[in-house]
Structure formats: C-alpha cells, structure tokens
Chains A and B, each alone.
Chain A
Amino acid sequence: MKLLVAIKRTIDYNVKVRVNADNTDVELTNVKMAMNPFCEIAVEEAVRIKESGVADEIVVVSAGPKQTQETLRTALAMGADRGIHIETEMELQPLGVAKILKAVSESEEPGLVILGKQAIDDDSNQTGQMLAALLDWPQATFASNIVLSDQGAEVTREVDGGLETISINLPAVVTTDLRLNEPRYASLPNIMKAKKKPIEVKSPEDLDVDIKPRLIVLKVEEPAKRESGVMVESVAELISKLQNEAKVI
C-alpha cells in the first residue's frame, strides 16, 4: 500500500511570534521555519506503518515557496521515500491546499492520506476534512491510534468526551493528534540518504487547480495584554464587577 503524507512548513514552534509592522501578517523575515509539529507526527506514523510491513511506499507532499523543499528533505530524512513539491509563492488557504492534495491523491492513488490535524500558524483545522469531502473518501480526524490492514483501518479519535474508535474503509483520510506518537529525530546518515531521494516539482497550474484565496485578512493584531488584577472588598462588589464590567454573568 502507498501512503501519502501532506506536510506544512511553519514558523518553528520555539519562536516567539510577532506581528509585522503594517499589521498584515506575522513577521516572517529571518524567522526560523520548521515542519509543523502535527505534520511530524503524520510522517512518523507513516514511517511506523511502513516499518510494520503494511505499507511499502511513503510519498510526502507540500505546497509553498522554494524553501519548502528543506521541509520535504526533513521528512525524507525521517524515512519517507520521495517528495512532491507544489511550488507557489501565492498565499495558501485550506481550500486551495485541499484541492492541490485532491489532485495529487488522484494521480498517486494512495491507500491512506495522513495529515496533521492542524498547523500551528493559522490553527485552521480544515484541510484534512475538506480533502476527504472533495475526494468523497471516509475521514478519521484527531487520531491517537491507527490500526491499518489492507481491508480498512480502525482509528481511535480524541473527541470531547474521551476516545472514540471507528472503522473506516480505504482509501481514506486521517488527521493526527498529539498523542498518536512521538516523532523520531532524523539520523545523520539518513540526512545524507535523503539528499539522494527524488523530489518532483510541479506548479498548481500543472495540476489544473484554482488556489486563489477565498478569505481576506483584514488585520493582524497581538492579543490584548492581560491587565493586572484588583482586590475586591466584598462578594457583592465581585458580583457587580462580573455583571457590569466583565459582563459574564
């Protein structure tokens, strides 16, 4: 079986994010970028599935500017077999990415597509669901355990009330949650091997998909600073403040 893993290049999770000067985006110049942590979990899961013998090839795909290839190399160093880079300088939104992934899925015909449940930059949590809908494939989101066979998959999902295990047919789309696994570090020899693995570069036009943004960003702002607290004299004063100032009761 072939596995397709979609990954995203985001700001490194260690970086303190700042809003840019003209309030149109977060500051990206000279900021360290890395693979989105949920995507690392997706790559790790694919590598484990391949190691267990159920899958025989892992293809990683990512869309974005030229530097996205560094992130694809990281996935190849973790154990993926080949990469597909959809190169574009255009702003990418979940629907555009889902369309790209739909096109790639149709040509690659994987048994399973694995994605991170969300990216730590925009926290959309939409791409996997949109992809499943566009392909009309089953989806299992927020996976914390995946048991895969040629016939189908049993996926344990992290839902509000606890854990839910569902059985799905293949091909399917799965998105990963934090507890699914702990990703490995790329080893030094594998970093060198990854340099020899192929990365195919295509453009959105090659796939014949329209990725034009549908959402418009009006303004990006820092969250409001937390104000210092006050000591209240009585319960009555507290209740009055909650009612009149905070307006929460």
Chain B
Amino acid sequence: MESVIINRRDLEFQIFELFKATELCNRERFVDHDEESLKAALDVTIKIAEEVLWPNASIGDIQEPHLKNGQVYVPQAVHRGVAAIRDAGYIAAGLDYDRGGMQLPAILLQACLGIFKAADAATPGYLMLTKAAANLLDVHGTEEQKRLYMEPMYEGRFLGTMCLSEPDVGSSLADIKCRAEPQPNGNYLLSGNKMWISGGDQDISENIIHLVLAKLPDAPPGVKGISLFLVPKICVNPDGSLGKANDVSVAGLNHKMGYRAISNCLLNFGEKNVCEGYLIGEKHGGLACMFHMMNEARIAVGISGAMIGYTAYMQALNYAKDRKQGRPIDNRNPEHPPVPIIDHPDVRRMLLKQKSFVEGALALCLMCAKYLDESETATEKNTKYRAGLLLEILTPIAKTWPAEFCQESISLAIQVHGGYGYTKDFSVERLYRDNRLNAIHEGTSGIQAIDLLGRKVRIEEGLGFNFLMEEITSDIEYASSWPELKIFTTTLMEYVSDIVKATNNINDVRDGGRKADSLANASLYLHALGHIVVSWLWLKQSVVAFEQITKSPDTQDADFYKGKINACKYFFLYELPQVKPLINLLSNIDTTCREHGPKMF
C-alpha cells in the first residue's frame, strides 16, 4: 500500500528539486542539516501521520468535543494524536538545538505540519496554536512569562490559544469590548467574552494559556488601543506549580461543519470579576505583537488547504484506479469486462484538474516558506530584503488560493467517487467540510484580497509587486531557451503584461481619490494574480521536469516528469484563460457589484 495522503515522490520533487532546500544547508543556522536529516524528518512525520493521525481522523470528526460541568472533553483518539506530535518534538522543531529544537528550515517545517494536516486537519491545531503562542511569548514575553508559561508550552505540557474575536466582533478588531483593569500589584483583571476560540478548553493538557486581546481603561480608540494579555486557565505559582483555577469559564461550544476534533468555544473571562491576566509587550501594542506571527500563520492555513486538497486527490486517484465501471466508448460490447473508471476521459479530466490545483497550491505554499527562510537567514542584505517583500505580497495569495481552489478540487474528488463520495464510508466528504474553514479563519478570503490589493501591492511604492513580476519574467526568459516550452512562456508573458497594466490602472484610480472603487473587485484581483502565480509555478516545475528528461530520457521517473509537463499544459490551456475576463473587469474598474444597493436585491 502506497501512501494514501501524499505523493512522496512529488513532495520530494518540490522540496529538493524545485526549491532546492539543501542549498539552505550552507547557511550557518542549518549547517548541521543535509538531505538525509531533512528526509528523516519527513519519514517520521509521514509515519506518525499515517499510523496515528489518519486512522483516528474520522473518530475526532464523529465524536465531537462535549461540555460537561464546565469542562470540555475530547475523544481519546485526539489525545493520542496530540501526544504523538508533541512527543516527536514538533512544537519546538524550529528552535535552537539547546532549547530542544531541530533548527528545521521553514520549508521543511511547513511541509511536516502540512502532512499532519493532510492526515487529520483538526488535531494538529492544538499544537500549532500552542507553537504560535509560545513563539509570540518568545519575542514579546518577560523572562518570568517565558519561564512559567512559554517553556511548558514548548514541552507541550500547557497548550495555548489565541483569543481575538468576540461574539459581535470578528474581522474588525477595533471594536472589541473585552476590558482589562490594572491592579495595584501590577497585574490586570480581565472581563469580557471571546468567541471562536479553538482549543479554548480541553482535557488534554495540564493547563491552557490564553492570549487575549483587551482594552485598558485609558485606551485610545480603534486598533491603536488594543493590548495583549496572558490569561491562564489555572494560575501558575512562582515555582511553576499549578495554583487555583482562574476565572475563565466555557459558556458554550460551537458545533462546526468540519475541523471538529478541535474544540471551539465561547469563553467568558471574569464572570466573578477575579480573572487574572498579565500584560504582554507594551500597553496598547497588542495588535503589533499578534501580527508578528501573521505571515507564518497564514502560510500554515494555505498549506493546510493545499494538503487537505492533496489527500482528497490521492483518495480519488486510488479509487479511480480500483473502481471498475462501464466500458470504453469505442467498445460497448457487454462481453468486454468493465474498465477502471480512470479509463474514462471525463474522470481523467477531473483528476488532472485536481492534480494541477493541489500540486500548484503546494508549490505556492512551499515557495512562501522558502522565502520565509530566505528573509530570516540569507547572508546578503539585498536577498533578505527582497525575500521579505516577496513574502509580503505572496502571503495573502498563499492563504487564499489553496483554500478556494482546493475546495473545487475536493468537490471533484467527491465526484470521482460518485455516490460513495457523498457518504461517510469514504473520507472525501470530511475533507470537503474540513477545508471549507480555510477560506474563513485567519482573515477571510475577502479580507486577504483587500490586504493584497489595498496594501501589499502598494507597500514600498509597489516594490514587492515589481519584484514578483521580475521573478516571473526572469523564469520566463530562462524557460524560453526550450522551443517546447514556448507555448507556456509566450502565454504567461501576455498575462504578466495584462496584470501589470490592470494594477497600474487600479493604483491610478485610487491615487485619484476613488479608493472604494479601486478595491471593489479585490477578490477578482486575488483570483487573477493567484492564477498567474500558480501558472508561473507550473512553468517552473515544467522546466525542472524538462531538464531531467533531457538529461536522462530513460529515467524511471520519466512518467512522473511527463506528468508535470502535461499538468502544466492543462493549467495553461484550461484554467489560466478563465481569468482573462476578470482582468478586463479589473482594468475597467467595473462597479456593477458595488453599485447594487441593498434594496435592489
């Protein structure tokens, strides 16, 4: 039985052949690594994913967390999954060796977390949240906060949460109502409600550390008045032992469509007015602390979408090879045995579309992770700066494109399964429900689009956007030396010049004072630029595949490489042209939607 969740050959192609991760091993931080150690990390990740997480994923889905006497309980299967990931050291994997880390490059770390998400979207969430919260404390916490809370979080004894949203306030954090009253001892008393808190309560860890956004009495209005507080479920004594229960209570659980193994809570802070909290970072500087880790969190959502989509594709592919049904179009003889459904052209079309989406989405996220590594460890200042700006502009695309288009892809995976795909006997319906969250959390697709067009395209006077176009153009030039790739290079060049024109036009309109008009179709912009970037990634993959086939035509991997080139062809012929009308609407600053007043619906 080959892997049911990921094509290892493709994963290694992307990490080592396409993005050349081993080049990172020349950097001082990664100098102890080589291909063997990076592959060893993938080995143990895939083993845990396939042996522990994947078999338990449906249990966590069916047996939702439940609330009893104020305590949330999750199934033992989820406990086991959390323990396996924790014990293998993934929370601290990116840290220094002397802090229990592996100094693993981001590209590998994201690939590993993606593999876990592919096997079970929800369970790794407990640890990813903990890692993010601990990383935040690492940067902004006091020495005591690090000792009492961060260390046990990296060990996985305490798990962490992020408490941003409130029942009335989701995406617009400026309006949060949660308050923090300063106390004579330097601590704070928190009061308010927080909504959508993943891992907000559970019976897995000794303690839970909530990072809570709240406002001080003297807070200036808007986002500049938000502070960040550490609020433990159980108070921790100065010697690290657990003290009394803090005043945090679970007001209810949300019953979700997917991602069900991770509890999602409505939390009340300070019902009895004794909820202790501790300030993290500067007063009124809470949002800045949070955004410190936003890029990484958003790439993680992207890779989650890419990998859930990938697993659905693997399921559909295996099913299509096994399932026998119908006869070839040109041989309807009832004596002819039924053929595997992969022999039917429309099934192949659906599989090829999935392949082009999920492998493209994975490449997009891994490229961002590589830029994250570059922006943190490159020795040359210019390379670092350039990688940082490329990461900024690509992040909203990496967050959104996989979430949106892998959803289409999973829908096709269900279609390939026919009626069985619509039942709980197969996993694709769960994957469809799980991935649906990725377009919503960590900033909805609409918000990502506004972030892209309204901010990222314009920062540093559009330098990030220019860098991106330069990168694409330089790869086009490189690829142009092969006549066989001409069809891709000319097409992509055309789209690059179209999107540059449209972008300039939108910027001019905005500079001319029509900001709302300029952003009215931001989602279309993200869709169009996303397709252009994924086309670029397919061109890059084709070039590598082409080089390999030219070098050794008889390679055992010939079919794998041919598959890359043909999937590239598919994306260029069938998918990329679909964004042409979108680019026209954008260039014309079309306002049909914006002008449709509420009463006209």
**Residues of the B chain whose Cβ atoms lie less than 8 Å from the Cβ of A32:** 8
Task: Determine whether A186 belongs to the interface, using a CB cutoff of 8 Å to chain B.
Answer: yes
B1/A189 in contact, CB under 8 A = no
How far apart sit A14 and B4, CA to CA, in the bound complex (Å)? 11
Interface residues in A18-60 (C-beta closer than 8 Å to B): 29-30, 32, 34
A70/B556 in contact, CB under 8 A = no
Q: Determine how close the nearest CB of chain B comes to the CB of A189; give it in whole angstroms.
A: 5
B89/A74 in contact, CB under 8 A = no
A189/B97 in contact, CB under 8 A = yes
B44/A195 in contact, CB under 8 A = no
Nearest B residue to A184, CB-CB? B87
Task: Determine whether A192 belongs to the interface, using a CB cutoff of 8 Å to chain B.
Answer: yes
How far apart sit A192 and B50, CA to CA, in the bound complex (Å)? 23
A192/B48 in contact, CB under 8 A = no
How far apart sit A153 and B136, CA to CA, in the bound complex (Å)? 51
Count A-side interface residues using an 8 Å CB cutoff. 21
Task: Determine whether B100 belongs to the interface, using a CB cutoff of 8 Å to chain A.
Answer: yes
How far apart sit A74 and B42, CA to CA, in the bound complex (Å)? 13
B101/A191 in contact, CB under 8 A = no
A29-B556, A30-B556 known; A192 vs B102 contact (CB < 8 Å): yes
Name the residue in A16, A34, A186, A190 with the highest tally of chain B Cβ atoms < 10 Å from its Cβ: A186
A15-B2, A192-B97 known; A73 vs B40 contact (CB < 8 Å): yes
A29-B556, A185-B87 known; A192 vs B37 contact (CB < 8 Å): yes
Size bin of chain B's contact surface: 20 to 34
**Residues of the B chain whose Cβ atoms lie less than 8 Å from the Cβ of A195:** 32, 37
Interface residues in B36-63 (C-beta closer than 8 Å to A): 36-37, 40-41, 43-44, 47-48, 50
Nearest A residue to B101, CB-CB? A189
**Residues of the B chain whose Cβ atoms lie less than 8 Å from the Cβ of A240:** none
How far apart sit A189 and B97, CA to CA, in the bound complex (Å)? 7
How far apart sit A61 and B207, CA to CA, in the bound complex (Å)? 43
A16/B2 in contact, CB under 8 A = yes
**Residues of the B chain whose Cβ atoms lie less than 8 Å from the Cβ of A30:** 556
Task: Determine whether A187 belongs to the interface, using a CB cutoff of 8 Å to chain B.
Answer: yes
**Residues of the B chain whose Cβ atoms lie less than 8 Å from the Cβ of A186:** 40, 44, 88
A14/B87 in contact, CB under 8 A = no
Task: Determine whether B93 belongs to the interface, using a CB cutoff of 8 Å to chain A.
Answer: yes
How far apart sit A166 and B213, CA to CA, in the bound complex (Å)? 64
How far apart sit A70 and B40, CA to CA, in the bound complex (Å)? 9
Nearest B residue to A193, CB-CB? B97
Q: Determine how close the nearest CB of chain A comes to the CB of B17; give it in whole angstroms.
A: 15
Q: Determine how close the nearest CB of chain B comes to the CB of A151; give it in whole angstroms.
A: 34
Nearest B residue to A16, CB-CB? B1
**Residues of the A chain whose Cβ atoms lie less than 8 Å from the Cβ of B43:** 34, 74
A16-B1, A77-B40 known; A192 vs B87 contact (CB < 8 Å): no
How far apart sit A191 and B101, CA to CA, in the bound complex (Å)? 11
Q: Mark A186-206, 1 if CB is under 8 A from B, else 0.
A: 111111100100000000000
A16-B1, A195-B32 known; A188 vs B41 contact (CB < 8 Å): yes
- Of the A-B pairs whose beta carbons lie under 8 Å apart in the complex, a sample of 20, sorted by A's number, is A14-B2, A16-B1, A16-B2, A73-B40, A74-B43, A184-B87, A185-B48, A186-B44, A186-B88, A187-B44, A187-B87, A187-B88, A188-B101, A189-B97, A189-B102, A190-B89, A191-B40, A191-B44, A192-B32, A195-B32
B residues sitting closer than 8 Å to A (CB atoms) are 1-3, 8, 32, 36-37, 40-41, 43-44, 47-48, 50, 84, 87-90, 92-93, 97, 100-104, 556
Q: Give the top 4 A-B pairs by smallest Cβ distance, nearest first.
A: A188-B102, A188-B89, A187-B89, A187-B88
List 20 additional A-B contacts (Cβ < 8 Å) besides A186-B88, A187-B87, A188-B90: A14-B3, A14-B50, A15-B1, A15-B2, A29-B556, A70-B40, A73-B36, A184-B87, A185-B88, A186-B40, A186-B44, A188-B41, A188-B88, A188-B89, A188-B102, A189-B101, A191-B37, A191-B40, A191-B41, A191-B102
